Structure 1
Amino acid sequence: MRSIIRKTAVVAGMAALLLGSAAVGEVQAQEPIKVTIGWAPPDITGVFKTATNFFEKSAQDANQHGFQVEVITRAPTSHLAFAEQVAIIEDFIQRRVDVIAVSPSEVQTVRSALAAAGEAGIPVIVVNLLEPIEGLDIASYIGFDNTQGGMVSAYSVADYLGGPGVLGTGTEIEAKPGDYLDLEFWQKAYADLSEEERAKVQGKGAIIEGVAGGFYSTARLNGFREVMEQFPNVEIVGNTCAADWNREKAVRCTEDFLQSTGQDLDFIWAASNEMGLGAMLALGNADRLQRADQPHEAGDGKIAVFTNDVTPESVDQIANNGIIAETTHGFADWGWFGTKFAVQLACQEEAPAQFDIRPRTVYVANAREFYPDPQLPDIDWDAIRANCKKNG
C-alpha cells in the first residue's frame, strides 16, 4: 500500500513539474517584445511636436498589445544646426537602436549618417519625404510631395480670390465631410476654366519661404508659383522673404512687407505652419488681419493668411476664422504610422516602401476633422506581434 502511495506521489510530482514548466514557458512567450526607435526631427516645436506626440501615442498603443516600444526623441537646436542632426543619428547608431526615423533638416546633410546606419544593419525610415534619396537603402518613406503641397495652397488662394471652390465668392463647389480637397480635387475644379474666368481671379500677395535654396522650401515655392502663373491678374509683390521655418523671423518678414507694400496686399502665403502663425501675429498687431468670417474687399488694407502644415494650434486658428486655409501634411499620420512601420521593420516584417499622405486643404468647415482628434485607423498590433521574428 505504501508503495502505491509513494508511486502516486511521484507521478503527481512529475505532473506538477511538467505543468509548472509549461506555465513558465507560457509566461516567457507572453513577455513583451522590446523595440527601441531613435526619432530625429529637425526641431521639437510646432509640426514636429505634433509628429512626436503621435510617435509616442502609437507606441503606447503598441505597449498594450504585447510590445515594449520606446521612442527616443532627440532634435538639434534649430533647423539650421545640420551637424547636430548628423551627430544625433550617429549616436543612435552607437546605441544600436532597432530602427532610426529621421526628418532631415536638409537631405544632403544627412546622407553619410544614413549610409552608416544602413552599414550597421539598422533600418531607416525617412519622414517628410517621398522622393527616394539616390544611393541610399531606405526601408520606408513617410511623407508627401512638397511641390504638390505648394500647389494645393495656391489653389486655395485662387479660390479665395474669386475662383471656384469653398472659400471665396466664386462658383461654390460642394464638399462633404470627409472629402479630400487634394490636388486632384482642385485640378478637376479648374480644368475647364476659361481665360475669362481665370482673369476674374485677382489679387496681390507676398510669400514667406523657409530656408532659401533648401529642398523643401524650393519644392513648395515652385509648386505655388506653377499654379499662380495660371491667373494673370494675381501678382506676387516683391521678393520672397526667407524665415527659415521660424515664427519670430516670419513676424519680421511680415512687418517688412507691411512697410514696403502699404495697402497693396490681399494675402500672404507662408510655406510652413510656424511662419504662417508668425505672419498672423504680426498682422493682428497691426490690425491688418483678414478674418474668414468677414467679407474681403480689395484695397481695404486687410490681409488674408494661407499656410502649410496643420497642427493643433493652427487648426484652432482656422476654426476661429483667423487663418483662411492651410494645407495639411499629416503630422499625426507621420508619428502614428512611423511607430507602426518601425515595429514592423524591427520584427522583420514588411513595411510600405512609400506611404503617401496627400496634401489637402483645411478650412473652417473641415478643421475639426484634423484636431484635436485626427481620424487615424486602428493598428492591428496583435497581428504584428503574432508574426514578429524579433529576438530579445
Structure 2
Amino acid sequence: MKRLRQVLAAAIAPLAIIASVSGAYSQDAPIEVTIGWAPPDVSGVFKTATDFFEKSAADAKGKGFDVKIITSTGQGHDIAQQVNAIDDLIQQQVDVIAVSPADVNSVKPALRRAKEAGIGVIVVNLLEPIEGLEVDSYIGYDNTVAAEVSASAVADYFGAPGVLGAGDKLDVKPETYLDRAFWKENFDKLTPEQKAAIKAKGVIIEGVSGNFYSNTRLTGFRNVSKDFPGIEIVGAPCAGDWKREKGTNCAEDFLQAHDDIDFIWAASNEMGLGAMLAAQNAGRLETASDGVKVGDGKVAIFTNDVTPESVDRIAEGKLIGETTHGFADWGWYGTKIAVEIACKQDVEKIFDIRPRTVEINNARLFYPDPKLEQIDWATMRANCKK
C-alpha cells in the first residue's frame, strides 16, 4: 500500500507542476480586449478622439492587456453608414462598442442588437440618457452647458468681468477651471444696468438645423446671452452642418450682409475654423492682440470643441475663445471604461467632462500634451474576470 502511494505521488507531481506553471502563465498573460469605435466622421474632433483611443490602448500594452481598436470609417455624419458600421462591429464580435451618434434615434436599434449579442455599449459625446436603450456608460458633457460657457466667454470679451477682452480682469491662474460655475459666480455680481451696458452684435452658425446637438447648443447660448440685453444676435442662425466648408460659406454670407457685426459664434470647431478663414480673407478678423473695438467692422470668432489645430489658432490669437468638449478625454478614458466593461467590472455610468473655456493664456494646457490622469492598468488586470 505504501509503495502504491509513492507511485501515485510520483505520477501526480509533474502534473501539479504543469498546473502551477499554467496557472501562473494565464494570470500573467495579457488579456485581449477588442473595442469597436464608431464615430460619425473620422476628421476634425473625431480624429482627435480616435488618436486618444489608440494612445490609451498603447498605454495598456505591457501592463496586462492587449487592446485592439477597430475604428469605422464614417464620413460626413452619414446616419445609414454609421448604423451599418455598428452592425459590422457586431458581426466581428467585438467586446465593446463606443459610438458618438450622428442621430440618437437612428442608432438605437443597432445598439440594441449589440446588447442582445452580449456586447458592451458606450455612448460618447452625450450625457443625456437615451430612452429605451441600455447603455453601460456615457462619456461626454452637457451640450446646453457647453454653449452656456461659450456665451459666457462672449459676454466676458465684451465687458463682463473675467479673463478676456474689455471687462475687469480677474486674477486667475492659467489652470483655473473656466467652467459655467466660474462664469456664473462672477456674472451674478453684476447689476441689471451693468449687464445692459455690455454691447455687441453677433451672428450664429449652428450645426444641422433641428438636430439634437444643434438645438441644445442654441438653447445654451441663448440661456446666457438673454441676460445681457446689449448683446444682440442679428438674424437667424445659418446651418453649417458641422462642416468647415459650409461654416466658411455661412460666415461669408454674414460678412457680406453685415458690416457692423462684432462676433461670430460657431457651434462647432470645424465651422469656427471656417468662419475664422472667411473673416481673415475679408480682412475683418479681430485677433487677441487687436483689443476690443465694437462697431469697427472687425469680427471676433468664438466656437466649441477644441482640437490640436484650433489650440494653435487660439495660441496665435486668431480664435478668441473656444469651449472644450474633451475629445482627448473621450478616447483616453473611453478605452479604460471599455476594458472595465469587458472585464465585468463596475464602471461610471456617467463620465462628465465639464466644458470650460480655452483662451490664449491657457491654450497650451490642452494640446499638444493634454493633462490626463494615468490609468491603473495593473489593478484592472488583477481584478479582470474576462
Match 1:312 to one of 292, 308, 315: 308
Q: Is 1:374 the equivalent of 2:370?
A: yes
**Residue 5 (structure 1) aligns with:** none
State the shift of 1:17 in Å. 7.4
**Residue 288 (structure 2) aligns with:** 292
Which range moved further: 290-299 or 39-48?
A: 290-299
Distance in 2 (CA, whole Å) between partners of 1:151 and 1:21 is 60
Distance in 1 (CA, whole Å) between partners of 2:234 and 2:204 is 8
Consecutive unaligned residues of structure 2, counting only runs of 5 or more, are 1-8
Residues 121-157 of structure 1: CA deviation (Å, up to 9, x unaligned) = 1110000000000111100000000000110000100
Q: Is 1:271 the equivalent of 2:267?
A: yes
Distance in 2 (CA, whole Å) between partners of 1:28 and 1:294 is 63
* 2:334 aligned counterpart, secondary structure: helix
Consecutive unaligned residues of structure 1, counting only runs of 5 or more, are 1-10
**Residue 170 (structure 1) aligns with:** 167
Alpha-carbon spacing, 1:17–1:121, altered in 2? closer, same or farther (3 Å): closer
Residues 151-195 of structure 1: CA deviation (Å, up to 9, x unaligned) = 000010001111111101212112213211001001101112111
**Residue 151 (structure 1) aligns with:** 148
Distance in 2 (CA, whole Å) between partners of 1:331 and 1:137 is 23
State the shift of 1:52 in Å. 0.5
**Residue 365 (structure 1) aligns with:** 361
Which range moved further: 219-228 or 173-182?
A: 173-182
State the shift of 1:26 in Å. 2.4
* Contact map agreement 2:302 2:321 (CA 8 A) in 1: yes
State the shift of 1:64 in Å. 2.2
* Contact map agreement 1:101 1:126 (CA 8 A) in 2: yes
**Residue 384 (structure 2) aligns with:** 388
Alpha-carbon spacing, 1:17–1:114, altered in 2? closer, same or farther (3 Å): closer
TM-score by length of 2: 0.95
Within 5 Å, which residues of 2 pair with 1:1-392? 19=17, 22-79=20-77, 81-261=78-258, 263-390=259-386
* 2:367 aligned counterpart, secondary structure: coil
Which amino acid letter does the alignment assign opposite residue 51 of structure 1?
A: A
* Contact map agreement 2:198 2:228 (CA 8 A) in 1: yes
**Residue 4 (structure 2) aligns with:** none
* Contact map agreement 2:248 2:274 (CA 8 A) in 1: yes
TM-score by length of 1: 0.94
Following TM superposition, where does structure 1 have runs of at least 4 consecutive aligned residues deviating by more than 4 angstroms?
A: 11-21
Distance in 2 (CA, whole Å) between partners of 1:182 and 1:27 is 48
Residues 72-101 of structure 1: CA deviation (Å, up to 9, x unaligned) = 00032211x111101111111111110000
Which amino acid letter does the alignment assign opposite residue 252 of structure 1?
A: N
Distance in 2 (CA, whole Å) between partners of 1:39 and 1:21 is 38
Distance in 2 (CA, whole Å) between partners of 1:170 and 1:277 is 26
* Contact map agreement 2:146 2:217 (CA 8 A) in 1: yes
**Residue 8 (structure 1) aligns with:** none
Distance in 1 (CA, whole Å) between partners of 2:65 and 2:336 is 11
Which amino acid letter does the alignment assign opposite residue 187 of structure 2?
A: Y
**Residue 7 (structure 1) aligns with:** none
Distance in 2 (CA, whole Å) between partners of 1:330 and 1:21 is 47
Distance in 2 (CA, whole Å) between partners of 1:108 and 1:24 is 48
Distance in 1 (CA, whole Å) between partners of 2:119 and 2:318 is 44
State the shift of 1:253 in Å. 0.5
* 2:108 aligned counterpart, secondary structure: helix
Distance in 1 (CA, whole Å) between partners of 2:14 and 2:216 is 69
Distance in 2 (CA, whole Å) between partners of 1:111 and 1:47 is 23
Between the two proteins, the alignment pairs up a number of residues equal to 380
Distance in 2 (CA, whole Å) between partners of 1:299 and 1:178 is 32
State the shift of 1:28 in Å. 3.4
* 2:375 aligned counterpart, secondary structure: coil
Residues 270-297 of structure 1: CA deviation (Å, up to 9, x unaligned) = 0000100000011111111100111121
* 1:124 aligned counterpart, secondary structure: strand
RMSD of Structure 2 on Structure 1 (CA): 1.7
* 1:279 aligned counterpart, secondary structure: helix
* Contact map agreement 1:163 1:200 (CA 8 A) in 2: no
**Residue 6 (structure 1) aligns with:** none
State the shift of 1:20 in Å. 5.7
* Contact map agreement 2:30 2:62 (CA 8 A) in 1: no
Which amino acid letter does the alignment assign opposite residue 315 of structure 2?
A: A
* 1:169 aligned counterpart, secondary structure: coil
Distance in 1 (CA, whole Å) between partners of 2:284 and 2:305 is 23
Distance in 2 (CA, whole Å) between partners of 1:376 and 1:228 is 32
Distance in 2 (CA, whole Å) between partners of 1:14 and 1:103 is 55
